[in-house]
């Protein structure tokens, strides 16, 4: 099996391919600088809290870059941590009980966010006919049913309910 990457292309071919992919939406591309590739992999820490430390955002879970879900999840991490800190007496900030409360407040939402973005990646990467039709049907349904689209968007922005 032969594999290649866009980083292997010469500059002129790369710019041409990039332009063909994006069209004129982002203007005209004229040149490129040094290119790098970053593999898209799901990563999550096993223990997001320990020793007076809370790991939040992309440090806690690195998601595929789908619809800003890593950012949304990180913002919810930060908001939850801030809420726990402000409701904790000053002398207890950072203790095990406070950090456990934070960890428990994030467990369900973070797990669902990670699972959902991972599901989207695998669903859209599957080129077989039946999954392709299913994706098309689901996207058409979202397009035709604005309340469903709004509910999905709200869930992706605000996370899962407790």
One digit per residue, the tens of pLDDT, for the chain of length 162 reads 556 777 888 999 999 988 998 888 778 999 888 887 777 777 888 888 888 899 888 888 888 877 788 888 999 999 999 999 999 999 999 999 999 999 998 988 888 888 888 888 888 777 777 778 888 888 899 899 999 999 988 888 888 755
pTM: 0.68
pLDDT at 162: 52
Give every CB contact of residue 71 below 8 A, 6+ residues apart in sequence. Answer: none
Residue whose entry in the numeric block shows the structure tokens 């369900």: 108
Q: How far apart are CA 11 and CA 59, in angstroms?
A: 33
Q: How far apart are CA 133 and CA 155, in angstroms?
A: 24
pLDDT at 150: 92
pLDDT at 86: 96
Could you tell me how many residues make up the chain? 162
């Amino acid at each position: 099996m032969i594999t290649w990457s866009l980083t292997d292309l010469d500059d002129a071919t790369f710019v041409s391919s990039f332009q063909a992919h994006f069209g004129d939406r982002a203007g005209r591309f004229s040149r490129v600088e040094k290119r790098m590739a970053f593999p898209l992999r799901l990563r999550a820490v096993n223990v997001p809290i320990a020793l007076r430390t809370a790991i939040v955002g992309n440090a806690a879970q690195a998601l595929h870059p789908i619809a800003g879900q890593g950012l949304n999840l990180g913002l919810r991490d930060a908001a939850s941590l801030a809420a726990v800190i402000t409701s904790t007496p000053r002398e207890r900030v950072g203790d095990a009980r406070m950090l456990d409360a934070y960890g428990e407040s994030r467990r369900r939402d973070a797990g669902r966010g990670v699972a959902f973005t991972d599901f989207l990646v695998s669903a859209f990467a599957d080129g077989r006919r039946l999954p392709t039709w299913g994706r098309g049907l689901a996207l058409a349904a979202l397009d035709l049913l604005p309340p469903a689209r709004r509910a999905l968007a709200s869930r992706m922005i605000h996370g899962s309910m407790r």
